[in-house]
């Protein structure tokens, strides 16, 4: 039997029941999968036609969106049965043969013939099952509205549950006088809501994005150094102090830069302190300059580290040290375009985060003193008790581990980063990346800097003193920019009138040659300050001396007061008579004599007269 494929026909396309939407001229057919609506272009060789009439095709075209997943097997079965029934109607098969082909009894075959309509085709053979159809709702609209309202208000957070929503629905329905639905009905309605929305309400945006957000995880690059990524991480390992291995000093920090195309580690920096601009500058300088030129010291016995160059783009997160204007200006000076992640899009740094995770799980977690990734993994393991490595030892181990990593086949590259790097440059017909014309200038640009005054004894930095006669030109004339190499503190570079001058150390040589050693010793090896009295007898003698001085001051003060009092008494005795000074007494006597002589004599025998106040 031959069937022409037309628009609206039911067909089986690539094993799925579909409806023909368009028949192409190049041997292709555009179909839409029933019940789903997915449109695809299928080759005619992958199309299996189903016999049907024109009326049936028009019916299929109008009702394609109403076909459900439940009717898939029934529709295919109906198509097969319709083909056999057509053979029976056209008298090409007997009823017995047709029933045998369909695997049914003869009486059942006649029931199918009776139900079959040549005008509508296989649709008439689909059995209408009694009862509610899957997905149908018998709950009234008002109750559904109550359920969704309670879902919106009470389904949120880690503790969100169907049972809690059902309790709220019971209360709301009781207040409205509605019949309360069952827990199964509440669950069914909540599950009918978009899964992403339900997951978001319970687990939050971060967890939802991990599952439902599109993250292809692909950065398209054609060659090395097109895209590099830089990030910090705290290493899952506890270290011990250099000066006293019984003392635990904590976990180190790692700053690392990778080339996305080859997964090569271009540069890194290790420190016991929180990441800063120094970490970023040192990692960046190491990434750009060749490691064999002496500017950056490797803590590994192997000096084979041929990976360097200028990345075109540098991807970073939004940490303050990555946003530093000093860093941005230096990067743009060397035509490196800095790019920062969109806030909240953590997955944009996926390549370097996967590399860091691989380092931790495949290497660091096997070291004594590891903290693992979380408390569940750590369990009862006592990280501090088992810790053994010092910071210097870890730096040496890490440098060796980087060498091992470069020679290990990568899961996505299907080759080692070293082979990927070398192969990429062979294909470009060049053997090395671009070199900087003046490496020392670039080296200085990525060194950390501080502002310091120039005194008559030179410059003091990190408890060391540096001097050269060239500093005399700026001595006492303000402050200057001083750059120092964290790996070599025996020399600094001072910016004098726009030119960096090399200034050697002139103070006593310290046992610490690197900045990290100096900071670790200052932080974890607290020295007794100069002038501290440690002898008990000396401390008691200080108190005795203090008491002696105090008593002498008291005795001297008392003697001075006694002497002053005695001199006052003698002076008062010489100049006073009966308590009245002589000069005052003489004046008083003279005045009294004059006043007595000038007054008239009074007769006390006369009768006194009253004084008239009117006079």
Q: How far apart are CA 318 and CA 335, in angstroms?
A: 20
Domain borders along the chain are 10-125, 141-212, 227-427, 439-524
Residue 110 CB neighbours (<10 A): 15
Longest dimension (CA), the chain: 188
Which strand (E) or helix (H) includes residue 314?
Answer: strand 313-316
DSSP, collapsed to helix, strand or coil, labels residue 452 as strand
Tell me which of 93-97, 150-154, 161-165 is least confident: 93-97
pLDDT (tens digit per residue) in 451-503: 999 998 889 988 889 999 989 888 888 899 999 988 888 899 999 888 899 99
pLDDT (tens digit per residue) in 401-432: 998 999 999 888 889 999 999 888 888 766 67
CATH of 141-212, one of 1.10.8, 1.10.10, 3.30.160, 1.20.1300: 1.10.10
For 338-377, the DSSP string reads EEEPPTT-GGGGHHHHHHHHHHHHHTGGGSTTB--SSHHH
Residue 12, φ and ψ in degrees, nearest 5: -105, 110
Q: What is the mean pLDDT of residues 196-224?
A: 73
Strand order, beta sheet including 499-504: 449-453, 479-485, 488-496, 499-504
Cβ atoms of residues 178 and 146 within 8 Å: yes
DSSP, collapsed to helix, strand or coil, labels residue 192 as coil
Q: 227-427, superfamily in CATH? A: Ribonuclease H-like superfamily/Ribonuclease H (3.30.420.10)
Q: How far apart are CA 391 and CA 387, in angstroms?
A: 12
Task: Please give the span between the terminal C-alpha atoms of the chain, in angstroms, as a whole number.
Answer: 166
Cβ atoms of residues 401 and 300 within 8 Å: no
Highest average pLDDT, of 22-26, 52-56, 89-93, 603-607, comes from: 89-93
The whole-number pLDDT of residue 426 equals 83
Do the domains 227-427 and 141-212 match in fold?
no
Which strand (E) or helix (H) includes residue 570?
Answer: helix 536-575
C-alpha torsion sign, points 399, 400, 403, 405: negative
Q: How far apart are CA 542 and CA 532, in angstroms?
A: 13
The whole-number pLDDT of residue 442 equals 87
Residue 434 neighbours by CB under 8 Å, 6+ apart = 309, 310
Q: How far apart are CA 66 and CA 128, in angstroms?
A: 14
Cβ atoms of residues 308 and 291 within 8 Å: yes
The whole-number pLDDT of residue 107 equals 87
Highest average pLDDT, of 60-69, 209-218, 376-385, 601-610, comes from: 376-385
Of the CA atoms within 13 Å of residue 159, those in its CB half-sphere come to 2
Return the bridge partners of 255, or none: 232, 269
The whole-number pLDDT of residue 368 equals 93
pLDDT band at 65 (very low <50, low <70, confident <90, very high): very low
Cβ atoms of residues 267 and 310 within 8 Å: no
Return the bridge partners of 453, or none: 479
């Amino acid at each position: 039997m031959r069937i022409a494929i037309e628009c609206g026909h039911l067909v089986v396309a690539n094993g799925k029941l579909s409806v023909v939407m368009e028949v192409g001229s190049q041997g292709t057919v555009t179909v839409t999968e029933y019940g789903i609506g997915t449109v695809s272009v299928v080759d005619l060789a992958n199309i299996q036609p189903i016999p049907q009439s024109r009326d049936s095709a028009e019916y299929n075209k109008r009702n394609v969106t109403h076909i459900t997943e439940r009717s898939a097997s029934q529709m295919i079965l109906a198509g097969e049965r319709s083909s056999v029934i057509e053979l029976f109607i056209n008298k090409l098969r007997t009823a017995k043969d047709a029933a045998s082909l369909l695997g049914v009894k003869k009486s059942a075959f006649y029931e199918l013939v009776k139900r079959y309509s040549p005008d509508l085709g296989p649709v008439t053979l689909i059995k209408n099952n009694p009862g509610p159809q899957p997905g149908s709702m018998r709950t009234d609209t008002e109750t559904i509205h109550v359920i969704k309202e309670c879902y919106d208000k009470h389904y949120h957070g880690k503790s969100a549950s169907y049972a809690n929503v059902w309790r709220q629905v019971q209360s709301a329905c009781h207040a409205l006088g509605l019949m309360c639905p069952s827990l199964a009905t509440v669950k069914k309605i909540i599950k009918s809501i978009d899964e992403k929305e339900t997951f978001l309400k319970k687990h939050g945006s971060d967890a939802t994005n991990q599952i439902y957000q599109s993250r292809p995880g692909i950065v398209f690059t054609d060659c090395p150094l097109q895209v590099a990524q830089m990030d910090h991480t705290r290493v899952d390992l506890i270290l011990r102090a250099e000066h006293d291995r019984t003392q635990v000093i904590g976990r180190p920090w790692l700053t690392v830069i990778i080339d996305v195309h080859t997964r090569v580690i271009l540069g890194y920096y290790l420190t016991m302190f929180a990441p800063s601009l120094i970490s970023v500058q040192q990692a960046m300088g190491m990434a750009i300059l060749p490691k064999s030129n002496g500017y950056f010291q490797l803590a590994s016995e192997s000096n084979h580290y041929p990976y360097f160059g200028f990345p075109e783009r540098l991807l970073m997160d939004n940490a303050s040290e990555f946003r530093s204007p000093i860093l941005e200006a230096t990067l743009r000076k060397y035509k490196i375009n800095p790019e920062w992640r969109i806030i909240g899009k953590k997955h944009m740094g996926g390549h370097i985060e996967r590399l860091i995770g691989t380092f931790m799980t495949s290497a660091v977690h096997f070291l004594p003193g590891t903290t693992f990734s979380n408390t569940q993994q750590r369990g009862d393991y006592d990280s501090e008790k088992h810790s053994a490595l010092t910071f210097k030892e870890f730096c040496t181990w890490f440098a060796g581990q980087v060498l091992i990593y470069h020679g290990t086949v990568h899961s996505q590259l299907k080759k080692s980063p070293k082979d990927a790097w070398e192969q990429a440059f062979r294909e470009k017909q060049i053997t090395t990346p671009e070199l900087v014309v003046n490496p020392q200038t670039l080296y200085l640009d990525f060194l950390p800097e501080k502002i310091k005054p120039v005194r008559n004894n030179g410059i003091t930095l990190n408890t060391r003193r540096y001097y050269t006669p060239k500093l005399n030109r700026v001595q006492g004339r303000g402050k200057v920019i001083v750059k120092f190499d964290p790996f070599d503190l025996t020399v600094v570079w001072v910016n004098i009138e726009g030119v960096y001058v090399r200034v050697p150390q002139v103070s006593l040589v310290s046992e610490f040659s690197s900045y990290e050693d100096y900071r670790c010793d200052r932080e974890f090896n607290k020295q007794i300050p100069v002038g501290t009295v440690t002898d008990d007898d000396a401390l008691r003698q200080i108190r005795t001396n203090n008491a002696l001085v105090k008593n002498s001051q008291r005795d001297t003060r008392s003697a001075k007061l006694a002497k002053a009092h005695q001199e006052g008494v003698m002076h008062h005795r010489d100049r006073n008579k009966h308590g009245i000074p002589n000069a005052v007494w003489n004046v008083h006597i003279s005045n009294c004599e004059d006043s007595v002589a000038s007054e008239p004599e009074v007769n006390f025998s006369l009768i006194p007269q009253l004084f008239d106040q009117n006079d």
